[in-house]
Chain A
Amino acid sequence: MFIFLYEPISSLSHAGNVVEMAIPLMFAGVSLALLFKMNMFNLGAEGIFYFSGLVAASIAIRSGLGFLHPAVAIIAGGLVGALIMAIPGILKAKWNANELVTSLMFNSILLGVGLYLLNYKLRDAAAFQTASFKFNPDAVLSRIIPGTRIHSGLIIVLLCIVGAHLFMYKTKWGYELRMTGSNREFAEYSGIKTGRVIVYVHLLAGFIAGVGGSVEVLGMHTRFDWTSLPGYGMDGALVAMLAKNNPLAVIGSALFLAYIRVGADMMSRLSDVPAEMISIIQGVILLLVSAEQFLKFWKNRMLLKEAQKNG
């Protein structure tokens, strides 16, 4: 337990591990917070992370783009993500197709297609595992804090978070988003074209998830070597929930999740507790956090105590 709590902050490089692990979690968290706020339980970020990462990787392998290289790769990943995410969005907006089921099916489809492209088009036969050719050094994101592996993706994700916050709370579109989320029929009645809102929020969320996948691949890897879904979409759901769908709070909840992740990782390395323990802990946290009554129960009890003390 001591290892679990202390080890992640014991040195600069371990603290760096926490931050670098939090970067993709923030991307996924913001993307899902936008969708959840609209009451859309779309978990497609999972597949988009994978596929956009692959798209970015395929661009990163090529050469001759100079200093624009990472930008081109990341934007391409983002655009692909937006296009993919738009499909369940359009199906939902036009025909009310269950976005949860379609987005989950898309995750599996994207994994299949992505593995095919990786194995048949991008695979480096000289590598010892299933992996793409090495990225062109131009395309790799630079490290911004010496002694850690924290890369410039951190800046991008913070920009995304601030952007999403401004979008959600300071613009007309954000207002429409929140209205659609709280009551779609009422929003429709008051003149908001909810179908259009659903589509553009999906586009935006897909773009952020796509950028997230691209940044993660270019920032942390030298080749593309994901052979299964990276799991960030599901973790993103947890991050968004912990943050109560507030973009700015995503920073804190992503850091918290990364912290217990790194702690669990250290714990399994330095003692004989297996790392799977962490998904049990996560499941429990998710249940407790989302259990509104549970928290209310404690709150009420505390209020009661307070009242008794004062009375």
Chain B
Amino acid sequence: MGNFFAAIFTTEFAFSILRVTTPILFAALGALISNRAGIVNIGLEGIMLTSALMGVLFSAYTGSAWLGLLGAAAGGVLIAGLLAFFTLKFKTHIILGGIAINAFASGGTIFVLYLLTGDKGTSSSVASKVLPNIDIPLIKDIPVIGPILSGHHVLTYLSLIAVAAVYYLLKRTPLGLQIRAVGENPQAAQSVGVKVVRTQYIALLLSGLFASLGGAYMSMGYLSLFTRDMTAGRGWIALAAESMGRSTTIGTALTSFLFGFAEAMSNVLQLFKIPAELVSTVPYVVTVIGLMIYSINESRKKGK
């Protein structure tokens, strides 16, 4: 047990929390924006998966990691657009639309990977590029804080900036106000001249953009290649984080870090002869307990 705490209270562990939180945080911000517009985006997992593959392919064929990121974002937004088109135009049930997107992406990515590389498992034969890590001057040299905050992947920093950006977007901009109005009461929003469907389109596309940044991080930062079903449920964890964070930007960011902590801890626990199969369930157990506490609190409040 002493060893365990020794492993937790290190700068490496704190560093790894930021590292594993990045994709969850991006996806959770995506979930937040669409939820605020009244749409539960279940397709996050599929969007992340698509953009993870797109990032690898674009960076390999253009030879530039940044163009790869652009390709990843474009792929993610495209899939989100497809989901938006079906749910908003054809009135597909949003939950089923999301499940369809996920099925489509999980088969489609492997299909494309197989057509291009002849391999169904990973993209290791493709010479894809990785986005750089950044050392922050000044902070880098501070003891304790330096090794935790500096030297992260560029998308990790972007995810922290994104939290501020989403906060600003929802609280201070006309678009944010429209999104919130549509989410709370579409009829009322309509009556004061807000274009409800257009706002929902924008919210879903933005949601896709954030999720695709998370996906790009998976294949161009967390790992340097695409592997089959590599998002491994992070899209779902992000939904839970958003729900536990009470649909506020700050709350969502904090619960994302909580899940990041649980995941980092499960990585550490694997070193301590606890069976890996059981350890891998830790983030999910935390999610269920977290959601339970949140729901009990909410229903108590309503009862009063």
Footprint of B on A, CB under 8 Å?
Answer: 41, 43, 91, 94-98, 100-102, 104-106, 108-109, 111-113, 115-116, 119-120, 234, 237-238, 241, 274, 276-280, 282-284, 286-287, 290-294
Q: In whole angstroms, how far apart are the Cα atoms of A292 and B96 in the complex? A: 12
Which of B92, B292, B295 sits near A287, CB closer than 8 Å? B92
Cβ contact within 8 Å between A280 and B291: no
Is B100's CB under 8 angstroms from A101's CB? no
The smallest beta-carbon distance between A117 and chain B, in angstroms, is 9
Q: Give every chain B residue within 8 A of A108 (Cβ-Cβ).
A: 233, 280-281, 284
Q: A286 to chain B: which residues have CB within 8 Å?
A: 96, 99-100, 103
B90 touches A115 (CB 8 A): no
Chain A nearest CB from B262 CB (Å) reads 12
A-B contacts, 19 of them at CB < 8 A, read A94-B299, A95-B299, A97-B294, A104-B236, A105-B287, A108-B233, A108-B284, A111-B281, A113-B281, A116-B275, A234-B99, A237-B96, A237-B99, A279-B107, A282-B100, A286-B103, A290-B92, A291-B86, A293-B89
Give the shortest distance, in Å, between A28 (CB) and chain B (any CB). Answer: 13
Restricting to B112-157, which residues have a CB under 8 Å from any CB of A?
114-115, 120
Residues of A contacting B284 in the complex (Cβ-Cβ under 8 angstroms): 105-106, 108-109, 112
A283, B103: Cβ atoms under 8 Å?
yes
Residues of A within 8 A of B292 (CB): 91, 95, 97, 102
Q: Is B296 an interface residue (CB 8 A)?
A: yes
Q: Mark B76-115, 1 if CB is under 8 A from A, else 0.
A: 0000000000100111110111011101111110110011
- Please, which residues of chain B bring their CB within 8 A of the CB of A120? 275
Instruction: Report the minimum CB–CB distance from B65 to chain A (whole Å).
Output: 27
Report how far A286 CA is from B94 CA in the complex, Å: 12
**Which residues in chain B, 272-303, are within 8 Å of chain A measured between CB atoms?**
275, 277-278, 280-281, 284-285, 287-288, 291-292, 294-296, 298-299
Decide yes or no: A116 and B103 within 8 Å by CB, A274-B114, A276-B111, A291-B92 being known contacts: no
B42 contacts the other chain (CB 8 A): yes
Q: A98-B240, A276-B114 are in contact. List 5 more A-B contacts (CB 8 A).
A: A96-B298, A98-B291, A116-B278, A280-B107, A292-B90
User: B199 at interface (Cβ–Cβ under 8 A)?
Assistant: no
Q: Are A291 and B277 touching (Cβ within 8 A)?
A: no
Q: Assess the B108–A283 pair: CB atoms within 8 A.
A: yes
B105 surroundings in chain A (CB, below 8 A):
283
Within 8 Å CB of B298, what residues of A?
A: 95-96
Is the C-beta of B239 less than 8 angstroms from some C-beta in chain A? yes
B99 CB, min distance to chain A CBs, angstroms: 6
Residues of A within 8 A of B100 (CB): 282-284, 286-287, 290
Across the interface, B275 reaches (CB within 8 A) one of A94, A119, A234, A280, namely: A119
> In the bound complex, do residue B288 and residue A109 qualify as a contact, i.e. CB atoms below 8 Å apart?
yes
A276 CB contacts on chain B under 8 angstroms: 107-108, 110-111, 114, 120
The smallest C-beta distance from A212 to any residue of chain B, in angstroms, reads 19
Within the complex, the shortest CB–CB distance from A111 to chain B, in Å, comes to 8
Say how far A107's CB is from chain B's closest CB, in angstroms.
8
The closest CB in chain B to the CB of A112 belongs to B281
Closest to B112 in A: A276
Contact of A279 among B42, B90, B103, B288 (CB under 8 A): B103
B243 within 8 A of A: yes
Contact in complex: A96, B86 (CB < 8 Å)? no
CB-CB < 8 A to A290: which residues of B? 92-93, 96-97, 100
* Smallest CB separation, A196 vs chain B (Å): 17
- Residue ID in chain B nearest A282 by CB atoms: B103
The complex places the Cα of A92 from the Cα of B181 at a distance, in Å, of: 27
Are A283 and B101 within 8 A (Cβ)? yes
- A279 and B93 alpha carbons, distance in the complex (Å): 19
CA distance A130 to B167 in the complex (A): 48
Pairwise interchain contact B90-A293, C-beta atoms closer than 8 A: yes
Contact check, A95 vs B240: say whether CB atoms are below 8 A apart. no
For the complex, what is the distance from the CA of A280 to the CA of B112, rounded to whole Å?
A: 11
Q: Which of A97, A116, A287 contacts B86 (CB 8 A)?
A: A287
Closest chain B CB from A181 CB (angstroms):
13
Q: Which 4 A-B pairs have the closest CB atoms?
A: A279-B107, A283-B104, A112-B281, A291-B90
How far, in whole Å, are A14 and B86 apart by their CA atoms in the complex?
Answer: 36
A98 to B245, CA, bound (A): 13
Contact with A along B236-269 (1 / 0, CB 8 A): 1001100100000000000000000000000000
Say whether A101 contacts B103, CB under 8 Å: no
Q: Determine which of A94, A97, A112, A277 lies in contact with B291 in the assembled complex, contact meaning CB atoms within 8 Å.
A: A97
Contact A279 B295 (CB under 8 A): no
Given known A-B contacts A105-B287, A108-B281, A277 and B93 have beta carbons under 8 A apart: no
| Nearest opposing residue in chain B for A228, CB measure | B229
- Are B92 and A105 in contact, with the CB atoms below 8 A? no
> Which of B89, B103, B115, B233 has the most A CB atoms < 10 Å from its CB?
B103
Report chain B residues within 8 Å CB of A278.
Answer: 107
Q: Roughly how many angstroms separate A116 CA and B278 CA in the complex, as a whole number?
A: 6
**Which of A100, A241, A282 makes the CB contact (< 8 A) with B107?**
A282
| Alpha-carbon separation in the docked complex, A284 to B104 (Å) | 7
- Report the Cα distance A278→B101, complex, angstroms: 14
CB contact under 8 A between A91 and B107, given known A100-B42, A290-B96: no
Q: Closest CB of chain A to B237's CB: distance in Å?
A: 8
Q: Is the CB of A96 within 8 A of B295?
A: yes
